[in-house]
Structure 1
Amino acid sequence: MSYEEKGTWSFLVVAIAGYAVYLWLVLSQIVGGTPVDEVDYAIPMLWTIGGAVVAGIVARIAIEIASPSESTRADVRDKQIDRAGEQVGNSLVVIAGIGALVLAMLQVHWFWIANAIYLGFVLSAVLGSLAKLAMYRRGLPAW
């Protein structure tokens, strides 16, 4: 498994785990009876995003210690897979941006706007990573 593919796996796991922690922190408030417009979401969101960044770095280092790669340099195939996977994932960022824009125009509470954007980022990371992993296993599509 290449260095870049290992990184994609760690990014996928960290993105899912980070968002799961965020949901647990926020949904526990809602289940506890806090009205949505009073939920403290900003601090948990910032901490889980920051924690995911740190966890991603630590995971990448731990993976390399456990199973060192022959090279950490991306080859042409890695670069093509990364570009194609990012294009797939970025579609969800655009959709989330449009969704947040519509929510803002409808004057929906900030909680929903922020969560729509965050969900878009997470789904982008997940979909982009899954696309990259599929391309590592099945090859690049012949577009």
Structure 2
Amino acid sequence: MAFEEKRAWALAVIASVGYAVYAVVVLSRAAGRSLVDVSYADALLWTTGLGIVAGIVSGIWFGVAARNDGLQSDERDREIGRLGDHVGQSFVVIGGMSAMVLAVLEASHFWIANVLYLCFVLSAVLGSAAKIALYRRGTL
């Protein structure tokens, strides 16, 4: 398995687990109250920050392992990375547009922050899924 494919798997898992932890924390804090009244900012910032750190650490880990094994990226790896990034970036745009619409509609900060976070997670997961699919399919 290529270094970039391992990294894609790691980022998909990290993003999914981080969002699941965030959702559990926020929903447990709700306890029958409206979600907009729940304290969410600390959970959002912690899970986002820890996800970023975990992504960096996993990238370093897989990079060192690849270097020790003598593996290098080639043109195919770069092309798969580019295509996967394009898939992921589309969800960043969707999140930005959704947040803008929510702001214009004067929605609660809770919903604006959460739509952005969800789209960042979808960007990471679906971008990684696209890379994994391209590696598994074997052709571009």
Alignment partners' CA distance in 1, 2:5 and 2:76: 11
TM-score by length of 1: 0.87
Aligned to 2:14: 14
Whether 1:110 aligns to 2:109 is yes
Question: Is 2:3–2:62's contact at 8 Å kept on the other side of the alignment?
Answer: no
Aligned to 1:29: 29
Cα displacement string for residues 5-44 of structure 1 (whole angstroms, at most 9, x for unaligned residues): 11111111101000001001111112x1333232111111
Alignment partners' CA distance in 1, 2:4 and 2:63: 11
Alignment partners' CA distance in 2, 1:40 and 1:119: 17
- Alpha-carbon distance, 1:58 to partner: 4.0
Alignment partners' CA distance in 2, 1:94 and 1:42: 22
Cα displacement string for residues 67-108 of structure 1 (whole angstroms, at most 9, x for unaligned residues): x43345321111100000010111111111111111000000
Question: Is 2:87–2:130's contact at 8 Å kept on the other side of the alignment?
Answer: yes
TM-score by length of 2: 0.88
| 1:36-47 equivalence runs, <5 A | 36-47=35-46
Whether 1:135 aligns to 2:134 is yes
**CA gap 1:72/1:20 in 2 versus in 1, 3 angstroms:** farther
Alignment partners' CA distance in 2, 1:52 and 1:72: 26
Whether 1:126 aligns to 2:98 is no
| Residue segments in structure 1 that go unaligned for 5+ positions in a row | none
Alignment partners' CA distance in 2, 1:14 and 1:132: 16
| Root mean square deviation of aligned Cα | 1.9
**CA gap 1:84/1:64 in 2 versus in 1, 3 angstroms:** closer
Identity of aligned residues (%): 51
- Alpha-carbon distance, 1:47 to partner: 0.3
Alignment partners' CA distance in 1, 2:35 and 2:13: 28
Alignment partners' CA distance in 1, 2:91 and 2:101: 15
| Residue segments in structure 2 that go unaligned for 5+ positions in a row | none
Alignment partners' CA distance in 1, 2:136 and 2:33: 45
- Alpha-carbon distance, 1:64 to partner: 7.0
Number of residues of Structure 1 aligned to a counterpart in Structure 2: 138
Question: Is 1:93–1:120's contact at 8 Å kept on the other side of the alignment?
Answer: yes
